[in-house]
Structure formats: C-alpha cells, structure tokens
Amino acid sequence: MGCCSSEEGGGCGCESEPRASSSGSIQIATVGGSCKTESQVVLKNNEEFIPRYEPYLDEAAGEKLINKSASLCPSCIKLIPMFVFEKDGKVLLRKTCKEHGTIEDVYWGDYQLFVKAKRFEVKGRGLENPHNPKEHPVCPRDCGLCSMHETHSGLTNIVITNRCDLTCWYCFFYAEKAGYIYEPTMEELRKMVRMIAQEKPIGGNAIQLTGGNPELRDDLPEIIQMIKEEGVDHIQLNTNATYRLWKDVEFMRRVREAGVNTIYFSFDGVTPKTNPKNFWEVPNVMKNAREAGLGIVLVPTVINTVNDHEVGDILKFAVKNIDIIRGVNYQPVSLVGRMPTSERNRFRITIPDVIKRLEDQCGIPREAFYPVPCTTILSNFVEALAGRPKYELSINPACGMATYLFKEGDRLIPITDFVDVDGLFEYIKEKTAEIREGKNKYWIVAKMLKKLGSFIDKEKGPKDIDLAKIIFNVMLKHDYKSLGVFHKKSLFIGMMHFQDLYNWDIQRIKKCDIHYATPDGVIPFCTFNVIPQWYRDKIQKQYGLTIEEWQKRTGVTLKEGYHKRDPKFMRTLPKSLLDLPVPSEAELAILEAARTQQVEVKPQAMLAAAA
C-alpha cells in the first residue's frame, strides 16, 4: 500500500514515482501498492517541507530494503525520508535530516512476524466527508481527518480533563506540566460525539473517555449518559482508578449504569516496583468491579528494563481473575520528548519483543498472534452479506497484533491450538468473493453453516464453548450477544504500539483508526500526541483556562486532587498481586445474584461461601 495518495503535493517521500500534475507542480503517485522515488522528497503547499537527502543503505552489512517512507526529524519536526529495512532478523529504520543528521531505531523486533503481519495489509476506504475539507492537504500538517486518511474512527478518545491525581514520568501529559486546565463543557463534548457519529460511510461508534484521570470530573456519569443518549454503543473509561473507583463501589455502579462497557485500567505490573501507580488500589478496584459487574481490560505500558520481565505475571493475574478481566492490551512505551540514543536503546521495546517475552514467560506461542487488520476479512464478509459499508479495522499491520486465550482448568489454550485460523480466513474470503460476484447468499450461508465446524478441533479446544455456533451467529445472524458470550469465555491479549518522534511513520499515520476528538476536529492519535505543539497542546490551551483562572473559578487548588496514600495501608498488601486471593465460584454466584436481582450482598453470606 503506498502512502502518497494526494492529488497534488500531498506526497510523503515514500517509494513513489514523481510526475508533473496539470498545474505544473510535482505529483507523487502510488504504483501497484509500492512506490519508486528519486533521492529527494518533494512536497508542495508547505514551505517547511523542503527537499531532504535520502538516508543510506549498507547492503554490504546485510541490510535489505523493505520500503521507503517518511518520518519526522525529532529536532525540527520537518518531514524527512526514511528507509525501513531488515538486518539480522529485525526490522530497523534509518532517517536523515539535512540539518540534524541521521537517526536509527528499531521499527519491529522480529522480521518474520513483520512479514506475517504485512500479509494482512489492506487499503481502508477513508471518509466521504473528511473533517478537514482542504483540497490538497499536506500530511501531517493538515490532520483533522483529511482526504488522504484511509480509515474511519475505530476508537475515538475524548479528553474530558487533563487533570490527574498522579504524575507518572512517562505520561503524555498532565495539567501541572502543561500550565493550564482543559475541561470541555457538556455542550462541547456533545458536539465532538456528533462529529464522530456523522462520519461517512461509517459513523464512529466507540468512544474512550480519557484524561488526565477522567475520575476527577464530578459530572462523569452525566457525560457517559449523554454519550449513550447520542446513540454510541461502546464506551470505555481509561483510568488509573486511583481517585474514586477504588474506594467507592457506588460510584463504580453509577459509571456502569450510565453506560460504560469497560474499564480500560492502567496496570503496569504486579509488584510495587513495577507498578507504583496503582499497586495498592488494585485489590479494591477488582472487588468493586465485581460488585458493580463492570468488566476490566488491563493496560500495561511496557518499558524495556523496567517492567518487561513481568509481562507474563500480568497475564497470569488476568487469567486468575478472568471472571472480571476481559483482556490485557500491552502497550510498548512511546518515548516522548527528546532522548539520547543510549536511553532509547535502554527503554525501547516493540510488539514482537513483548510477544517473545510472553512466549518465554508463559508459553504463549508467537504464532498465535495476528495483526489487527486481519479482522477486515470478517467485516468484509458481513459487509458483502448486508450490502452496505460496515465497521472495519484497516489500520497498518505494524500498529497492533492480538490473540485470544481460553482457560480450561489449569490450561491456557490459544485460539490457534484448536482453530485453523488461516484456513478459516481463506474460506471466508472465498465466500465473500462469491457473494460479490452475485451468487445466492442463502445458499452460501447454508454451506457455511455446515463447513465452519471443520476448521475447529473440538477435542483440543475448551469444552464449554461452541465457537462455530458463535462465529455463525455473529457473522450471519448479526447476533452480537454471541460476541459478548465469546468475550466472557475468553481472554483477549492485544498489543498496540503508539509512535513517537523517533519511529513515526507516515504510512502508519494515514491508516490510524484510534483518534482524538477535539473542538477543532478529529486527529489521529500519533499526530495529536507526537506533535503536541501543533495539535494537543495548542488546541487544549486555546480551549482551556490557566491553572490560576481555574482555581479561582472552582475554589479548589490543583494539588488538592493529588493522590495520597497512608503508609500503614501500603504495608497491608502482599509483595505481589499474584498472591491475592480470588473469589470462589460460590462467592461469584452471590455477587451475580446481587447484581441481577438487586439484592444486598451480606458479609455473612460471602464468608459462608468462602468457607
């Protein structure tokens, strides 16, 4: 897939063939999914994007070119050419700025996994009604989303406050560091939600409320309720859970009843050393989530040499608490700010590196993981069957991978152990093509009902789930309650690596489907946060208040919201969260009855069940 799709001057220096447009300017055109280029990047419509020299490739040292793209110079933020190449089994990048020299980094830690991921690359359809109507946009100067963007909003972040009760060193932002408070009004938030929903041909239907720590907004339940009133199906709350959720089960219930589907829970390790953020609050968060009936996805930021040795223990904690934890979404750290090479080499970790840690620490084979855009095989079939555009996740394969695990007794069963995933995908693609050719849909559906089970080895799989029936119900009957059953019986294991100034790739940006909604438009995650002076900080400062103004208006100080712990309380927990007891099946049954029948959970009943 090429990345130079603009009509004029929207090129990016990827492997493309320059040619003159009707206006006489240089036009860069994609050719068959790859591109060819001269030794300079030529970009129009923005004087900052001046010609740059290409980086070098050392073929004598075994460097093999994979593709050419464009990146950002960390010093001057100008668009510069980048080579992505293979060497010694890894995928590396090299980019050169004429003023500031050459930078090298790891793009992906395993070439073979990269080859597998790239097999599933697809071109998304983009938007019929771009948020930025500019006729000849220049990436990444004109984010918002523009006509060159290839995806709709898959998951849209809405920052409801930049205040936080913690000050983590690797965080993208927080209020005290920024110098202002950004808290959109209810009307501004409603406008953002409608902006996302009005995307065509596929309206955004999944929103993540984020911050800062969104718990600090007193009107959080009302914000959630407003979003549900606007017709959004999926709402997840991205939080440390260190402000209210860990100590106030009634607030947890209010959040669920207002419409939150999932707590997207920051969770960096099972020990105080790896998880100083919320280690001590985790037990109460789990307890309250169980009582409220609100599912959790653990979100570890993985940093090499800091907590990568615990990625397996994080998974074990999730498995131990699979009744309430729906998944783990590992996020290799985005190295924000300026950083010397030695520090980058120390902290840098990529998706394949985390997968290998899981393989070493838990025995989950790397072959179990597939890139996110493999899901378009399923959505394309549903779309062909329905005859209208459907929600799709057509992101760049380098952005994320995932798998599913099933627990049976003490066994963890990866989905690839009992499902012929590649065979199933090929079969679905074949049926999709038949429907598009005009063959009888009902006959195809009847054949699929009979065939789907042949891709599943029931002897090797979990005994309490009929996966073939779930796939049939979701894909053919559009019964998404079946999908809910699937997620409750399985554990999602995902990887999502957000970019930074060192590994930023324009080809990934153009396919990004994790966006930020702002009062000024919708912006891809990795321009919003990687170039904050153009987007995040500029927009939030424009619509925010100075800290002094906010404190005067509210009558509280910023530091009053900071999280404080009692040292006595901190000494009450075991050294590892893996040592915490989990509820028995009898205790879980009592909690389920309390949730569904609205009856009080009596301590003596829980004690009896535990006994």
Work out the number of other CB atoms within 10 angstroms of the CB of residue 600. Answer: 7
- The confidence score (pLDDT) of residue 482 equals 67
CA dihedral 347, 348, 354, 360 (to 10 degrees): -60
**Nearest Cα to Cα of residue 426 among 480, 484, 381, 474:** 381
pLDDT at 589: 80
Average pLDDT on 32-36 reads 35
> pLDDT at residue 110 above 90?
yes
494 Cβ neighbours under 8 A, 6+ residues apart = 327, 328, 329, 330, 400, 401, 402
For residue 495, report the phi and psi dihedrals to the nearest 5 degrees. Answer: -135, 130
pLDDT at 587: 74
Q: Is 416 helix (H, G, I), strand (E, B) or coil?
A: helix
Regarding beta strands 490-496 and 325-332, do their DSSP bridges make them parallel or antiparallel, or are they unpaired?
parallel
CA 260, CA 204: separation in Å to the nearest integer? 16
Residue 75 has pLDDT above 50, yes or no: yes
**How high is the pLDDT of residue 595?**
65
- The whole-number pLDDT of residue 479 equals 67
Which of these ranges, 72-86, 204-218, 442-456, has the smallest mean pLDDT?
A: 442-456
Q: SS3 sequence, 315-380?
A: HHHHHHCCCCEEEEEEEECCCCCCCCHHHHHHHCCCHHHHHHHHHHHHCCCHHHCEEHHHHHHHHH
For residues 329 and 292, the answer to whether their CB atoms sit within 8 Å is no
Half-sphere exposure at residue 439, Cβ-oriented, CA atoms within 13 angstroms? 12
CA-CA-CA-CA dihedral for 427, 431, 434, 435, to nearest 10: -160
Q: How confident is the model at residue 596 (pLDDT cuts 50, 70, 90)?
A: low
pLDDT at 301 over 50: yes
Question: What integer is the mean pLDDT of 221-225?
Answer: 98
Give first-to-last CA distance, the chain, whole Å: 60
Share of the chain above pLDDT 90, in %: 71
Average pLDDT rounded to a whole number, residues 543-567: 90
pLDDT attached to residue 336:
77
**268, 330 in Cβ contact below 8 A?**
no
> Inter-axis angle of helices 480-489 and 467-475, to 10 degrees?
150
Confidence of residue 222 (pLDDT cuts 50, 70, 90): very high
